[in-house]
Every structure is written in structure tokens, then in C-alpha cells.
Amino acid sequence: MILKRYIETGRNDEFDAIIVGGGITGAAVAYAAANRGLRIVLLEKKDFGGATSAATSKLIHGGLRYLANMELKLVRESLHERRVLGNIAPNFVYPVPFLLPSYISWKGNMWKMGIGMYLYDWLSFDKAKTWDKTKRLPNHRIINGSKAIEMEPGLIKDKLRNATIFYDYQSIFPERLTLAFIKSAVEYGAQVSNYSEVVSFISETKGKLDGVMVKDTRSGKTIQIKGKLIINCAGTWADKVLSLALNKEIESHKMIRSEGIHVITDKIANNHVVSLMRKEGGHMMIMPWRGHTLIGTTDKVYTGDPDKYSVSKESLLEVLDAVNQNFGHKIGYSDIKFAYGGLRPLVDNKSENSYAASRKYEIYDNAEDGVEGLITVEGGKYTTSRHLAQSVIELVGRKLNTKLNDSLTYKLYLSGCEIRDMNEFMKKQHLQYSDFSKETVEYVSRNYGTESTHVFELARTNPAWNKVLTHDGELLAEVVYAIKSEMALTLKDIMLRRTGTGTLGHPGDEAMIAILDVASELLGWDQVKQQQELDSMLRTFQLPVA
């Protein structure tokens, strides 16, 4: 499949729905809408999945901690959707063991944790109903302290009582998983466009929105797009879009923003997600990822302009302090290989802090605000995005007074994910591509699924594109594929969201030069543009100094 930007080809089209926002919520809504027969266009002002959807802990989980708030419905929904994502995106989503240590000082919470674990197992009663048997998750179990230390030697040993082992899923590349939803939407006829910012709304009838004016932020060109409905899936920016639509400044509607910070270091734990309770409250996780350790997340209310958000040194030091206070392996600022952060859009349920705020979502018919033709989605979490999208489309069907096709997204593989048995698929991949290293076959096959054949063929076609860029075998051919087939327009698109060449930090000068050279040739960058792109990428790799 070759993705094409609608803003470059569109000609006075009218759609059933215009979706504003190309994160996982917008991507899932686009797929659900197109799958059910609606004519839609998705518009993203920057790159697909480039904000909150990229700033995750890379987990597809049921939300064990939500049980503390007795959000049983949300946990059940999350556990169901966890299984669905494992089914429809098998090359991206894999079981991962969690290790939750219990210390004598936590004794007041022991009985709550015990009940919570049994309840978590009970609510995931259908977890064995997976298409691929390797995706089945066992129930939790308790191990003694010495066994826990044997499994994870970095645990603090003093007053360690025992530990609980339980399972959720890990998403190995959330940005590409988001892209798989977008590709799936395109397969059903959706039009999509990145770097396409909605700058104003069209209203031909008082109190009714009829379309949007969209600016191509790459060329400056502006076009008009008509639609029967507009769906605001802008996430962290949902209130900004709503203000633009209502033509007046509003408060943050019913939403708060929460900052989530993650850091990547060399490996400091083994193969479990070590989940630790912070002494000051809340939790943190030390997670395995690509032969490194991913640490996060923070959860703190952010009240500033989301367009001006950036990761601060203070926030990174908070993550390091949490590790050094609660884990036996100490780390410093110089140990951080890469750091990233983002803002979660949470429904404001008047909790005392963002950690306690619900991860449920709300879908608003903005006719209540005096504007017909607009639907706004607020809140939610990555795991439940597909189900959220189905609820949105049910409302769309009622608003359009039209009969929709049956919903099939829960039982169809996502684009590029059509793999019934991952073990058998990987065996065939290693045999078919034995001229590549084992590391390359593993990485490319899992992150590109059935589309991996295109990447391998590009590498075979041009020996220069067979160059290995990272420790786990990424190829320069992935860069070519990102530009030619996946709508990558910037160095950040290429290195952070289409390939993983930049997601562990600076890959080295040789790899950077190779990527920049190919991008410059295929995208027609002159020397000035090359330097701008390089400088932007290098700033992303730099840790804040203040």
C-alpha cells in the first residue's frame, strides 16, 4: 500500500465525516467509520501518532490500578480490548510478565492487592480465547522473595516479603500500530492527510458546521473540505479545536492534561515489567524494550499551552529519583540514552490529582453547546481506542440517520498484520530471508508484518539500502519504504514514527548521515533544508540542561 496525502489531491469532495486528529483515537475512528461504509477524511496537523500516542509506556493493558477506584466496567472493557488487539495486531502485541514486589512496609495494602489480582483474573475470563495460542495469558501467581530476587536481581532486598507475577501485553512499536489503523482505514476507502491543519470551520447555516478550511503546513496551500459531520479527535488539543469551532475561547471543557515522562537507559532489569509503588504514592515501571530499559511514567497535571510543552530536566530528575528510591540499581542523568514525554487528555472527574483521574472517555454531541454537526471525543487510553471508535460511529449513524454496515473491526486483522500464527510466520521469514541477519529478520518481520516483504525486496534491489543502522538490525531500506509508501515527510517522521532508528537516542553519525542522504535524495531537500531537518532531529536527542 502507498499512502497519499489527500490535501495534495483533493478536489471539492464532500464527506460523511471529517475527522480532526490523527493519533490513535482519530486513526481508530477513521478505521471504524470506513469499515462501516462511511466516506471519511482524516486530517492531522503534524504527523500521525506523533504526540500522546507516541508518548506511551508501550503497554496494552487492562488497568490493574483502576480497580482501586472500583472502575470495574473500564477494567473489563480494557481487558477485552487487550485481547482484541492481540488478535488483530499479532506482530505488534505480545505477552509480557509483570513482577510486583511486596515489602513488609506495604502490609496495609496486602489484602487489597490480593483481592485485586483475583478480580483482575476474573474480569479477564476470556483471555484464553486468542487466535494465536502464543497470545494466551496465564493467571497471576505468588513467588517468594528469594525467587523474586533470582528473577530480578535489581530489586531492593531489604524487607522483601514476596512478589506477584501477572501478565499483560506489550506493544513493540505503538507508532507503527497507530499507522496500521490508518492503513486499514485507507483500505476501506478513507482519505488521510498529515501536516494538514484545520484553521477554521465553515458554517453555511447558523448553528451548523458544514466543513473546514485546511492548510497544508508544508506548502502553505489551503483547501475547503465539506462534511456532514466533523469529529473532533484532537486529544490533548480537543478543547482548542472546540474553541475554534465555537468561535470563542472556552475553558478546558471537561478535560485535564497530565504529563507523562519516560526515559530509556541501558538494561538495568531482566525481562519482567517491574512495577514499583512510589513512597510518595503512585507507581512506576521498569520495562524491557529492544534490549534496553524503559522507565516511566510520571503523572502530573499540566496547565500550560500544549503547543509549548517540552520535557524538563526537573521532570527527568523526578523519574531518576523514583528509580533510585525504589529500585536497587541506581542510575544518574548521564545514564539516560533518550527521553520523551507527552500530555494525556483525561476526563476531569474532580480527582485530587491526575494519577487518580479516570482513564474513561466521553463522547459529546456538541449540539448541547449550540453547534450542530460536531462531535468531540475526550479522554480514553490507547488500549480502548478501538472500542471507543465503535461508540463514536454509533452516534454518527444516529446523527446521519443512516444504517451502517455491521462492525467488523474486532474480527479483522489490521493492515499488514494478517498473521494467524506468529511462530510459524517467523520460521518462514527466517527461511525466506536467510541472506539477512537473524536480528534484521526478527526486527523487520515483527514491525512490518506481512508488509516486510517490501522492505526486504528494497534491500535486495539496491545493496546500498541493505545497510544495517541499529544494533537490532534495522535497514536503510526501511527509510526508503517510509518515504515512498508511508507518507514520511521529515527526519522525525522517519526516525521516530516509521522506523525505530531514533527511538533509542542518537544512532551514531554514520547511521544519521546515511538516513539523511537517502531522505534528501528522495524528498528533494537542498542543503538548507537538510541542515534544518538535522538540527531538529539533534535537538530531539538532546537532554534538557535546565
Q: Who's near 91: CB < 8 A, 6+ residues apart?
A: 416, 417, 419, 422, 425, 445, 446, 447, 448, 449
Phi then psi for 510, rounded to 5 degrees?
-65, -45
Distance CA 138, CA 59 (A): 17
Distance CA 127, CA 133 (A): 11
Is the domain defined by 6-52+175-254+359-400 classed in CATH 1.10.569.10?
no
Q: Who's near 488: CB < 8 A, 6+ residues apart?
A: 47, 482, 494, 497, 498
For 99-168+256-347, which CATH superfamily applies? D-Amino Acid Oxidase, subunit A, domain 2 (3.30.9.10)
pLDDT given at position 353: 45
Mean pLDDT by 10 residues, the chain (546 residues): 93 91 98 98 97 94 86 94 98 98 72 85 95 96 96 95 96 98 98 98 91 96 96 94 84 75 97 88 90 91 89 94 93 97 76 47 88 92 95 96 95 98 98 98 98 98 97 98 98 98 98 98 98 98 90
Q: C-alpha cell of 33? A: 467509520
Q: Who's near 220: CB < 8 A, 6+ residues apart?
A: none
SS3 of 72-138? HHHHHHHHHHHHHHHHHCCCCEEEEEEEEEEEHHHHHHHHHHHHHHHHHHHHCCCCCCCCCHHHCCC
At 366, which amino acid appears? N
- Other Cβ atoms less than 10 A from the Cβ of 216: the count is 17
Q: What residue spans in the chain does CATH classification 3.50.50.60 cover? A: 6-52+175-254+359-400
CATH tag for 422-541 (out of 1.20.1440.230, 1.10.8.870, 1.10.645.10, 2.40.440.10) = 1.10.8.870
pLDDT given at position 106: 59
Per DSSP, what are the bridge partners of residue 264? 294, 338
Per DSSP, what are the bridge partners of residue 256? 346
Sort residue 362 into left (φ over 0), alpha (ψ -120 to 50) or beta: beta
Burial of 392 (0-12, 13-18, 19+ CB in 10 A): buried
Distance CA 304, CA 146 (A): 46
pTM for the structure as a whole: 0.95
Distance CA 424, CA 90 (A): 12
The CB-based long-range contact list for 533-538 (8 Å cut-off, 24+ gap) reads 533/490, 533/491, 534/491, 536/490, 536/491, 536/492, 537/491, 537/492, 537/495, 537/502, 537/512, 538/506
Q: C-alpha cell of 193? A: 492527510
Q: What residue spans in the chain does CATH classification 3.30.9.10 cover? A: 99-168+256-347
Distance CA 26, CA 49 (A): 9
Phi then psi for 97, rounded to 5 degrees?
-80, 140
Residue corresponding to grid cell 447555516: 205
